[in-house]
Amino acid sequence: MSNNFIEEFKLRGFYHQCTDENSLNRMMQKPIKAYIGFDITADSLHVGSLLQIMCLRLLQKHGHQPIILLGSGTTLIGDPSGKDKTRKILDKKQISKNSKKIQKLFLKLLDFKNKKTKPLFVDNSKWLEKLNYINFLRDIGKHFTINRMLTFDSVKLRLEREQSLSYMEFNYMILQAYDFLKLHEKNSCILQIGGSDQWGNIVNGVELIRKVNQKEAYGLTTPLITLSSGQKMGKTETGAVWLDRDLLSPYDYWQFWRNTPDNDVERFLKLFTDLEIDKIENYKKTSNDINNLKILLANEATKIVHGKEESIKSEITAKKTFVDRSTGENLPEILFAKNKLEKGINIIEFLEEVKVLSSKSEARRLILNRGVKINNETVEDNNYFIKINNENFIKLSLGKKKHFKILPK
């Protein structure tokens, strides 16, 4: 077991703040339990959660046991951190469904074979739904002051902008601190890791454990990841970059990383792959083409989420699509009515029905700019007619980077 978790945490760019770094470093010379909480607001996780997942993987690498806290209880309220408005409230049935799918996703993302570092799934609804309000106020609420709570960004920024903050949301920070207390008592968990926007909530948990149990616990936060341009990382034209293949194909996931801006490639190799730091440095020195590093990033990042086979398939598909101008087997597939394709359909109507563009006007603009291709042939005007005879599929290209395989059904 390596004892240099904090050192590698810093080298990879994960580090933002720590409540007591020297003391935590000493504690981590032996295996510890650490947790990260995940909201259950959707039935999958997206790239925005990937840094936290990489932290869990790093914990395992260094011999520590991660706890995945599924926030079914707190999802009923909604975390106000970094939010401008109240989140949509989900019912218990939907939260339960989301939780099951997210647990299934984690089975692929983390190592469950090593008994010593096997992740624990814990759901905070087990204790939050049993709380007696009067007892909770008396035993836990007494350790929090309104004066202090008003200083945290999750509250202060909303009030400064004169945006509403419900009493329900105001209580979220207390419930998150209580989560840490319960995990400390029930699972001997001494470390919470979270994004920088969670700093106040994490500190509250550390202090609550100290006040209630007279024990030390620690908090560690990661920075907000942005592109070198300042743009928020993890969004595309079509929305969130999901980790579930049912919501985003492995090929599209591979392409997301392949399209990383030049200035971010080395940083993202450290943040979002398992490659050792010295290997990344060596690749950088020996590679004369940034595109080779982008392909390396796409392959390694995709391997973590979708496996090595899908990573290889995606690279081969990209090569066939962009270099050989043929159709790779891993392109995103869209089913389309066979009778319409046999009869023939206008290109504008076709693009509207396959739902890959936002409107007919966008389709017309793209055609005008020679950005639409059918089977590698440029569509010259809006009167273009698509018709198949015995073909098994149609290759649709939009611009240089978006390609689809249209399958008759």
Question: 360-373, pLDDT tens digit by residue?
Answer: 888 998 998 888 98
Residue 1: band (very low, low, confident or very high) from pLDDT cuts 50, 70, 90: very low
What is the predicted pLDDT for the residue at 319? 83
What is the predicted pLDDT for the residue at 301? 97
Residue 339: band (very low, low, confident or very high) from pLDDT cuts 50, 70, 90: confident
Q: How many residues does the chain have?
A: 409
Pick the more confident residue, 263 or 400.
263
What is the predicted pLDDT for the residue at 67? 98
C-alpha distances out from residue 257 to 29, 112, 114, 233, 319, Å? 35, 26, 30, 11, 15
d(CA 128, CA 357): 44
Domains of the chain: 5-222 (3.40.50.620), 235-322 (1.10.240.10), 333-408 (3.10.290.10)
pTM of the model: 0.78
- Across the range 362-387, mean pLDDT stands at 87
d(CA 400, CA 83): 35
Residues 6+ apart with CB under 8 A from 161: 84
What is the predicted pLDDT for the residue at 164? 78
What is the predicted pLDDT for the residue at 389? 66
Take residue 8 and report the two structure tokens written for it.
């590698």
Give percent above pLDDT 90 in the chain. 58
Q: Which of 54-58, 63-67, 133-137, 182-186 shows the lowest mean pLDDT across its residues?
A: 133-137
Q: Is the pLDDT of residue 346 over 70?
A: yes
What is the predicted pLDDT for the residue at 215? 97
Residue 83: band (very low, low, confident or very high) from pLDDT cuts 50, 70, 90: low
Q: Is the pLDDT of residue 2 over 50?
A: no
What is the predicted pLDDT for the residue at 95? 93
CA angle 360, 366, 372 (to 5 degrees): 105
Our CA dihedral for 257, 260, 264, 265, rounded to 10 degrees, sits at 60
> Which range has highest mean pLDDT (29-33, 169-173, 337-341, 390-394)?
29-33
pLDDT in tens, 172-213: 889 999 999 999 999 999 999 999 989 999 999 999 999 999
Mean pLDDT, the chain, rounded, equals 89
Q: Is the pLDDT of residue 55 over 90?
A: yes
Could you tell me if 297 and 234 are in contact, meaning their C-beta atoms sit under 8 angstroms apart?
no
Cα atoms found within 13 Å of the Cα of residue 97, Cβ hemisphere only: 7
What is the predicted pLDDT for the residue at 238? 56
Pick the more confident residue, 395 or 69.
69
Residue 320: band (very low, low, confident or very high) from pLDDT cuts 50, 70, 90: confident
- Across the range 287-313, mean pLDDT stands at 94
What is the predicted pLDDT for the residue at 230? 84
- Across the range 138-158, mean pLDDT stands at 85
pLDDT in tens, 260-299: 999 999 999 999 999 999 999 999 998 888 999 999 999 9
- Across the range 214-232, mean pLDDT stands at 92
Pick the more confident residue, 30 or 368.
30
